[in-house]
Amino acid sequence: MTASEATVGRRAARQAAKRRRARRGQAIAAVSSVIVIGGLATLALTSPGWPNVRDTFFSWSAFKDSFPDILSAFWIDVKLFMVVEVAVLILGLVVALIRTSRAPALFPLRLLAAVFVDFFRGVPVILLIYLVGFGIPALELSGLPSDPLVLGGIALTLSYSAYVGEVYRAGIGSIHRGQRDAALAIGLTEGQALRHVIVPQAVRRVGPPLLNDFIALQKDVALVAILGVVEAFRQAQIIASSTFEYTPLLAAALLYLCVTVPLARILDRMGWGGRAQP
């Protein structure tokens, strides 16, 4: 046997071994999935309360009856999400730019921005919605909004701008100093350097954490229900309390998932979600 024949033989053996390992891995994954999922399902299905849960949470007829109303209410969530998101992207950037500025004249603004972030990031969103939603109309000043949807949107904008502002700020801080040097060296002003060199790079870099915050916001819009806005969650609650059926709540949950899961997949697809394995 020549040396090259021996090499070919080993190559075939190695490939066979690799296939065996892959098959064994798949088998183990399949068996453990059956055991874990089957075990959990058995636990639920054999629990004493299961027949009750099945009737109140998984009723197909209740789902069919309630779904159209919940879907139309869900558009309020989607619209609110989109408007608030745009406002957050702008206000967050403004907060970040103020906080990263260095001009002495901007000191009062910097202080204000720091307090803004500390306060709105530090207060629970649900509490903030209460405070804005009931506090602003109580001032009885003309010209201030009184629509609970608008007030809820303002509260969400304030809270998420504080988060997103910090995300932007981290992005701006992560751009290498050499970029600012180069921008100034070609004769740009500090403002032009920010606008054309620093901010475009920072925004690209913070895409993943921004999208992560979008997903959180898409769920938190449901909190405006506490001001009486009839959006998907509130609509489901109304139906549930009149029929003693909880299936509508499940229908609402499904709708939120319909938006958040694709967003999460976009995040993965962009290579931003970290390595995920099914």
Partner 1 sequence: MSPPVLEARGVTKSFGDLEVLSGIDLQVAEHQAVAIIGASGSGKSTLLRCIDLLVEIDDGDVFLDGQVITDPSVDPVSVRRRLALVFQAYNLFPHLTAQQNIVLGDRYAHGATKEEAAERARRLLDRFGLAGRENEHPEDLSGGQQQRVAIARAFAGRPRAMLLDEVTSALDPELVGEVLEAIRDLKHEGVTMLIATHEMSFAREVADLVGFLHEGRIIELGPPDQVLVDPERPETKRFLRRLLEAGRI
104 DSSP 8-state letter: G
Q: Give me the helices (H) in the chain, please.
A: 3-45, 50-57, 60-100, 107-122, 125-138, 148-174, 177-185, 190-193, 199-205, 207-220, 232-243, 247-269
Considering only residues 159 through 218, tell me which ones interact with partner 1, judged by CB under 8 A.
176, 178-179, 181-189, 192, 196-197, 200-201, 204
Q: Which residue, 132 or 199, is less far from partner 1 as judged by CB?
A: 199
First-to-last CA distance in the chain? 45
Cβ atoms 62, 243 nearer than 8 A: yes
Measured distance CA(200)–CA(168) in Å, rounded: 11
In the complex, the smallest distance separating the C-beta of residue 193 from partner 1, rounded to whole angstroms, is 10
User: How many residues sit close enough to partner 1 to count as binding (CB under 8 A)?
Assistant: 18
271 binds partner 1 per the rule CB under 8 A: no
Q: Please report, as a single letter, which amino acid is at residue 205.
A: R
Q: Which residue, 47 or 192, is less far from partner 1 as judged by CB?
A: 192
In the complex, the smallest distance separating the C-beta of residue 166 from partner 1, rounded to whole angstroms, is 22
In the complex, the smallest distance separating the C-beta of residue 192 from partner 1, rounded to whole angstroms, is 5
In the complex, the smallest distance separating the C-beta of residue 222 from partner 1, rounded to whole angstroms, is 37
In the complex, the smallest distance separating the C-beta of residue 191 from partner 1, rounded to whole angstroms, is 10
CB proximity list for 107: less than 8 A, separation 6 or greater: none
Which 3 state secondary structure label does DSSP give 224? helix
Q: Which residue, 145 or 200, is less far from partner 1 as judged by CB?
A: 200
Which 3 state secondary structure label does DSSP give 231? coil
Cβ atoms 156, 86 nearer than 8 A: no
Q: Mask: binding to partner 1, 126-165, rule CB under 8 A, as x and -?
A: ----------------------------------------
In the complex, the smallest distance separating the C-beta of residue 172 from partner 1, rounded to whole angstroms, is 14
Q: Which residue, 22 or 182, is less far from partner 1 as judged by CB?
A: 182
Interface with partner 1 (CB under 8 A): 176, 178-179, 181-189, 192, 196-197, 200-201, 204
